Structure 1
Amino acid sequence: MRDRKPQVPPWTLAVTAILSVQLGSALSVNLIDTVGPAGTAWLRLSMGAVILLVIGRPPLRSIRRRDVLPLLGLGLTTGVMTVGFLAAVEHIPLGTAVAIEFLGPLTVAALRSPHRTALAWPALALAGVVLLTEPWQGSFNLAGVAWAALAACGWGFYILLTQQLGDRFSGIGSLTITVPIAALAAAAVGIPQAAGHLTLEVLAAAAGLAVLLPVLPFALEMLALRRMTPTAFGTLMALEPAVGVLLGLLILHQQPSAVQVVGILLVVLAGAAAQHGGRRRRKEEPATPADLDFVG
C-alpha cells in the first residue's frame, strides 16, 4: 500500500493568497513612483490579461445577450477599483487603504443579510477606519481616503456582479473576459501617465506584479476553496487589512501608531464576525473565489 503524500493544509493556501495580494500591492508603490497609479493599474491589468489568456480560453461561445452588460460592468468596475486603490496607496499607508476598501464587501454582506444586527459590523469597521485615518490630525489625507472609498464602492459592485455571473461562468472563464476589459478601461487614464516611462524594466516589473495579483491568488484560492468551508475562507480573508499593515511596516516602513493598531484590530474583528452571519450554501452550490474574494 502506497504512503499517501502529505497534503498542504488549505488554510496555508488561503493565507499565501492574502500575502500575494498584499505583497503585490506593497511592491506596486515603486512602480507608482515611475508611471503613476493609473499607469501601474493599466500595466498590471494588461499583463494579467495576457497571462490569463495564455493559461485559459475565454468562453466566448457561452456568452448570451443578457451577459454582455454584466461582463462589461464587471470589467469597468475592476478597472476603476484597481486605479482607485493604487491612487489611494500613493497618498495613505497600505494598511489604511486596505481597511477602507474592506468596507465595500463588508457593507454588501451586511445589507444582504436577513439579520439587521449584521449592520453593526460595518459600523464597527468604520470606527476602526476613523482610528486609522485620525481625521483630527493635521496629517489627514482627504485625497487618499476618497480614492480608497472609490475602491471600496468598486469592490462592493464587483461582488454583486460576480455573484450575478457566478452561475454562468466557472473557473477563470469570466476573468479571461473581464480583466482585458478592465485593462482597456484603465488605459484611458493609464496610458497618458505611463507614456514616456515604458522600459523593459518597467514591463518586467508589471508582469511580476500581475503574477502576484490576480493570477497566483486566484489559483491558490481555487485550491483552498475545494477543501475549506466558505465561512472559514471568508474569516481568513478578514486578515487582509492586518497583513496590509504588516507588509506596509516591513516593506514600506509605514509605522502605525497605537491608536491605528486598535483601528486595524477593529476592522479585522468586524470582518471575521460578519462571516458567522453568512448564508449557508447548499451542497450542490459550489463556492468560487469570485463569490468570496476580497480583491485589491
Structure 2
Amino acid sequence: MSRHLGTTPAIALVVVGLVCQEVGASLAVLLFPQVGPLGMVMLRLVFSAILLLLIARPRLRGHSRDGWLAVVRFGIVLAVMNGLFYLALERLPLGVTVTIEVLGPLVLSIVASRRLSAWLWALLALAGVAALGGGGWDGLDPLGVVFALGAAASWAFYILASARVGREFPRLDGLALAMTVGALLALPFGILSAGSALLRPDLLALGAAVAVLSSMIPYALELIALRRLPAAAFAILMSLAPATAALAGWVLLGQELVWLEVLGIALVIAASIGAVRSASIAARKAAASAAVEARAADRVADIDEPFAGPLA
C-alpha cells in the first residue's frame, strides 16, 4: 500500500505533463493562421532556449570536439522534429499526428529488443496505423501523413541524440545548448513564415506560453517523476500520449474522430505498452542471468583458491 501511495504523485506528474504538452500543441494550432507552423516552431524553440539558458547557464569551455558535434546534431534533430510535427498538425488532427509520431520510439524499442515477440507488437501497431485511415487513407491528408512519419523518425533520432549529449554534458547543459542550435536553425524559416506578426506582443506572449506548456513544464515534471517511478512504468505512461492528444484535440479544437481512428489510437497505445513491458521483462531476465553467472564465478573462485598456493 505504501508503495502505491509513493508512486501516485509521480503518476499524476506524468499525466499533468502530458496534458500540458497537448494543451500547448492545441494552442499552437490556434496560432497557425497568424504565424504559420514554421513561425510557431521558431517561437517555441527560441523561448525554450532562452528559458533553458537562464536555468542551466551552461559552460562553454572544457568540452571536446565530439561533444560539440553531438550538441549540433541534437539541435538539428530538435529543429527538424518540431518542424515536421507542426507541419503535420497543420494538416492532420492532433490525436492522429501524435499517434503516428509515437511510432518512432516504438519502432526503435522493437528493433533494439531483438526479440521475436517484439514483432508481434509491431504488427499490432501496423494494424493501428491502418485503422487511423478510418477505413481509407484517402481521408487523411497524404502530405500530413508524410510529415508525421518524418516526425516519428526524428523522434527516434532524438532519443539517440539525447542519450549521447547526456553522456557528454552535465545536467541540462547539453539540452540548453542544443535547443539554442535548434532555435538558430529555425529562426530564418520562422521569420519568413510569420513576418510582421512577430511584432505583435500578444502573439509573442502566446508563443512563450506554448514553449512553457509544450517543453518546460513537461520536461521538469518528467525529470521529477523519473526519480520516483521505474523506467518501464514511466515509459508505459508516456505511451498514453496519443489518447491525451486525441482528447485535447476534441475538447480544445473540436477535432472529432471516427470510431476506426479511435480504434487505431487504442491499438498503437496497446502496442507501445506491450513493447515496453516486453523490453522490461527481457532486461530483468538479462540482469538475473548476469547475477547468476557472477555468483557461479565467485563459487568457482572460492573452490580454486585453496589450490592456488600448491599449484603456483
> TM-score w.r.t. structure 2 length?
0.84
> Which residue identity does 1:268 align to in structure 2?
I
**Which secondary structure state, in structure 1, belongs to the residue aligned with residue 265 of structure 2?**
helix
Structure index of larger Rg: 2
- Structure 1 residue identity aligned to 2:234: F
Greater percentage in helix: 2
* Partner in structure 2 of residue 238 of structure 1: 239
**Aligned equivalent of 1:151:** 151
Distance in 2 between residues matched to 1:123 and 1:277, nearest whole Å: 15
**In the alignment, which residue of structure 2 is the partner of 1:97?**
97
Shift in CA distance, 227/32, structure 1 to aligned 2, threshold 3 Å: same
Q: Deviations over 1:108-167 (max 9, x none)?
A: 111111313213323322221221133625432101101101111110111111122222
Q: Is 141-150 or 168-177 further displaced after alignment?
A: 168-177
The root-mean-square deviation of aligned C-alpha atoms, in Å, is 1.8
Where do 5+ consecutive residues of structure 2 fail to align?
1-5, 288-312
Matches of 1:18 and 1:11 in 2, distance apart? 11
Distance, in Å, in 1 between the alignment partners of 2:169 and 2:218 is 18
Aligned to 1:191: 191
Instruction: Give the structure 2 partner of residue 226 of structure 1.
Output: 227
CA distance in 2, matches of 1:137, 1:70: 38
Query: 1:16-39 CA distances to partner (integer Å, 9 max, x unpaired)?
Result: 111111111111111112111011
Deviation at 1:218, TM superposition (A): 0.9
Which residue does 2:70 correspond to in 1?
A: 70
Match of 1:287 in 2: none
Per mean C-alpha deviation after superposition, the further-off stretch among 112-121 and 191-200 is 112-121
Q: Secondary structure at the match of 1:196?
A: helix
Match of 2:25 in 1: 25
The runs of at least 4 consecutive aligned structure 1 residues that moved more than 3 Å come to 279-282
In structure 2, the partner of 1:256 is 257
In 1: Cα distance, 2:232 partner to 2:7 partner: 21
Matches within 5 A, 1:124-143: 124-134=124-134, 136=136, 138-143=138-143
Gaps of 5+ in 1: 1-5, 283-296
Give the drift of 1:8: 6.5
Counterpart residue type for residue 201 of structure 1: D
Structure 2 CA distance for partners of 1:137 and 1:68, relative to 1, 3 Å: closer
Specify the SS of the correspondent of 2:83. helix
Quote the residue 1:294 is aligned against. none
Map of 2:44 onto structure 1: 44
Pair 1:212 & 2:213 matched? yes
**What residue is the counterpart of 1:203 in the other structure?**
204
The residue type equivalent to 1:37 in the other structure is P
Alignment of 1:278-289 (within 5 A): 278=279, 280=283
Q: What does residue 121 of structure 1 align with?
A: 121
Aligned residue in 2 for 1:161: 161
1:87 corresponds in structure 2 to 87
CA–CA separation in structure 2 for the residues paired with 1:62 and 1:209: 33
Q: 1-side partners of 2:76 and 2:209: how far apart? A: 23
Q: 1:219 to 1:136 in 2, by over 3 A?
A: same
Distance of 2:246 and 2:7 partners within structure 1: 30
Equivalent residues of 1:96, 1:129 under 8 A apart: no
Q: Which residue of 2 aligns with 1:109?
A: 109
- Residues 106 and 121 of structure 1 are in contact (CA less than 8 Å); yes or no, is this contact kept in structure 2? no
Distance 1:58 1:8 in 2: 33
For residues 53-64 of structure 1, what are the structure 2 equivalents within 5 Å?
Answer: 53-64=53-64
- Corresponding residue for 2:271? 270
CA distance in 2, matches of 1:72, 1:136: 40
- The aligned residue for residue 173 of structure 1 is 173
- Number of positions where the alignment pairs a residue of Structure 1 with one of Structure 2: 277
Secondary structure of the corresponding residue to residue 60 of structure 1: coil
Whole-angstrom distance in 1 between the partners of 2:267 and 2:110: 16
Deviation at 1:261, TM superposition (A): 1.0
